Structure 1
Amino acid sequence: MVGIKEVARRAGVSIGTVSNVVNRPHVVSAATRSRVLSVIEELGYVRDESARQLRAGRSRIMALLVLDLGNPFFVDLARGAEEAAHDEGLNVITCNSGQRVELEASYLSMLAEQRVRGVLLSPVDSNGAALRTFRRRGIPYVLVDRNVPVAEASSVSVDDVAGGALAARHLLETGHTDIAFVNGPTILTQCREREEGVRSALENSGARLSVLETGALDVASGRDAGARLLGISPRPTAVFCANDLLALGVLQAMVAAGVRVPSEMAIVGYDDIEFAGAAAVPLTSVRQPAKRLGRTAAELLIAETSEREGPVEHREVVFKPELVVRASTRLHRE
């Protein structure tokens, strides 16, 4: 790579002048600035931003580490984080753990080595060794789609217990008494909390609950769960899925088997991604404000990493979920 010394030599100026052209162009005369910029373009010089930030002691790069970029929920979350970062002249690099503990640990180690400004983190396991190790490195972070004690870090989340209860009560209100819950990996906090909400809502209802756990929160796992549902006797008349991708997979399995939705099987998802409303049978879903989650988390991290005196004040922000009713559920008794 071409260095700043070569640019200075070719332009016939000092290294300081080249630095000023790049960082403070207003202090350099127009003629000198034009000559230096021509040489920069000719040689393809790119300034060493990481070294500059290291000298300044503050990076302009935040990181976002999420569970699954194949899930549109996390794409929308990333958009919100990027908007907030760009408003402050910061950039965001996005990493995908793929719901794998070992990959998450690798990314956290790399981000610590790169001395990023801070990390927005949706962890596989919020009590796992990878996060405990990361905490000891002293890099600011905010948990997204999770909550932790405020003493540890700030967090932005949705009340998933309330969300699970919303879905279960809706199915009860539409006349269902034999309900299935298709859950994702229970190492994930939100999966455990959504199941908790379902169980609390059905506790004294007399309804029968079947719980199926999948290895991932994706469409393929939803199709597999749908096939398993078809084998249950008596078959449930309604199913709530821990996210919309699982629900779309279950819907595919029902359509392939000739099971009518919602008259023979009502389906509810979670997240309310764009594809939920565009499905062959538009899905009822519990809506999470993904973009607001990302923006709010980024704003908290920016506030915590801005120069200020005194200890950092952590915050816990919890949004309320909202049920969006569509064609995949209706009154069962009709």
Structure 2
Amino acid sequence: MSRAVGIREVAARAQVSVGTVSNVLNKPNEVSAAMLERVQRVMDEIGFVRNDLARQLKMGGGTTIGMIVLNVANPFFGELAHACETAAEELDHTVIVGSSDQLSRREDRYIDLFEEQRVRGMLIAPLDGTTERIRRLGRRGMPVVLFDVRDTEGTFCSVALDGMAGGRVATGHLIGTGRRRIAFVGGPLHQVEDRWRGAQRAVEEAPGVHLRHIDTNDHTMIEGRRIGEAIVAMPPEDRPDAIFAANDLVALGVMQALILAGDIHIPRDIAIVGYDDIDYAASAIVPLTSIRQPLETLAHESVRLLIEEAEQGADHVHRQVLLPPRLIVRRSSTIR
């Protein structure tokens, strides 16, 4: 592998001082147009690549943000990452995305990588809340904003949809359509506990309505289909008449299994509500009712808080931003 070309070689080839090359890189407005063109041409000819990490260490900060999501294959996290990239670009920052894939060791590995690369801050959708590894970031002064996790200790900023309100709205909608045997499908429960508690709250206010939790190992269509097949295998009198799924992928997997069974009608026999309102929800064979997450607002708030903390340092006041849910009603929960 060839050795990286440095600014001294650029200066020697262009027959200028090292200071002039530095000005071309950092203060181009202070260099004449002819000199700028001359030095940049030499850079292209000899393959000079700017070492931004070294520059960040010297200048005390950069414009790169590290982002860790639970699973980039989940359309919600893919759309959230794209929205964060757009929000950061508007503020002259760049987002680099890593997926923990629901593995704590991979989450730690990305945290280590981003910390070593001296990113300006990290946006994290954590696997298990504020772990000791994440708390250590805060103690070291790394700006961190958490997604979908409320930090009760006030150590970090967080941005999330109000999951309890979302669960309450989704379950209340099902109750309002006459459903009385509702299943909340999703897990691990600690990752979706706010949605579960919201569902419980709605049921507490509706006498005669029964709620049960059906756990899943992950938030995927495969897991949803597994649960759907188990529901199909139940005697009809034991089946729920409504399902509130912890996310849209689980809801779509359940829906797929029920439709393939051939004798279960959605929503007449079983109504289904999802969560996130990913693009696939509206285009499902039975369009899916869902709780919409305001992606652009989530992204703009999280990037804004992160950059604000990076600029203010110890003077920054951490905030917990909770955004209101919005129910998008489609055919999966109502007969029109």
Deviation, structure 1 residue 214: 0.7
| 1:137 matches 2:140 | yes
Deviation, structure 1 residue 37: 1.4
Distance, in Å, in 1 between the alignment partners of 2:37 and 2:128 is 53
AA at the equivalent of 2:326: E
**Residue matched to 2:241:** 237
**8 A contact 2:130–2:151 mirrored in 1:** no
**Residue matched to 2:299:** 294
Deviations 1:274-308 (A, max 9, x none): 11011110000011112211111101111111157
Q: More displaced, 40-49 or 18-27?
A: 18-27
**Residue matched to 2:23:** 20
Number of equivalenced pairs? 329
Distance, in Å, in 2 between the alignment partners of 1:199 and 1:151 is 27
Report SS of the residue matched to 2:315.
Answer: coil
**Residue matched to 1:202:** 203
TM-score relative to the length of structure 2: 0.93
| 1:179 matches 2:179 | no
After superposition, residues 238-253 of structure 1 pair within 5 angstroms as: 238-253=242-257
AA at the equivalent of 1:253: A
Unpaired segments ≥5 residues, structure 2: none
**8 A contact 1:266–1:330 mirrored in 2:** yes
**8 A contact 1:74–1:290 mirrored in 2:** no
AA at the equivalent of 1:193: D
Distance, in Å, in 2 between the alignment partners of 1:241 and 1:74 is 17
Deviation, structure 1 residue 223: 0.7
Unpaired segments ≥5 residues, structure 1: none
Deviations 1:234-283 (A, max 9, x none): 11121110000101111111111112211122111001111101111000
Deviation, structure 1 residue 81: 2.0
**8 A contact 1:144–1:294 mirrored in 2:** no
After superposition, residues 24-35 of structure 1 pair within 5 angstroms as: 24-35=27-38
**Residue matched to 2:282:** 277
Distance, in Å, in 2 between the alignment partners of 1:148 and 1:270 is 22
**8 A contact 1:269–1:286 mirrored in 2:** yes
Report SS of the residue matched to 2:306.
Answer: helix
**Residue matched to 2:217:** 215
Q: More displaced, 318-327 or 67-76?
A: 67-76
Query: Which has the higher relative contact order, 1 or 2, with Cα contacts under 8 A spaced 6 or more apart?
Result: 1
Distance, in Å, in 1 between the alignment partners of 2:324 and 2:125 is 18
**8 A contact 2:158–2:321 mirrored in 1:** yes
2:260 aligns with one of 256, 266, 275: 256
Distance, in Å, in 2 between the alignment partners of 1:192 and 1:311 is 32
AA at the equivalent of 1:196: R
Distance, in Å, in 2 between the alignment partners of 1:330 and 1:151 is 41
Deviation, structure 1 residue 34: 1.9
1:311 aligns with one of 289, 294, 315: 315
**Residue matched to 1:125:** 128
Deviation, structure 1 residue 150: 6.0
Deviations 1:194-233 (A, max 9, x none): 1111112113522222321111111111111111122333
1:266 aligns with one of 268, 271, 286: 271
Report SS of the residue matched to 2:189.
Answer: coil
Distance, in Å, in 1 between the alignment partners of 2:38 and 2:130 is 56
Deviation, structure 1 residue 48: 0.5
Q: Alignment identity in percent?
A: 43
| 1:163 matches 2:171 | no
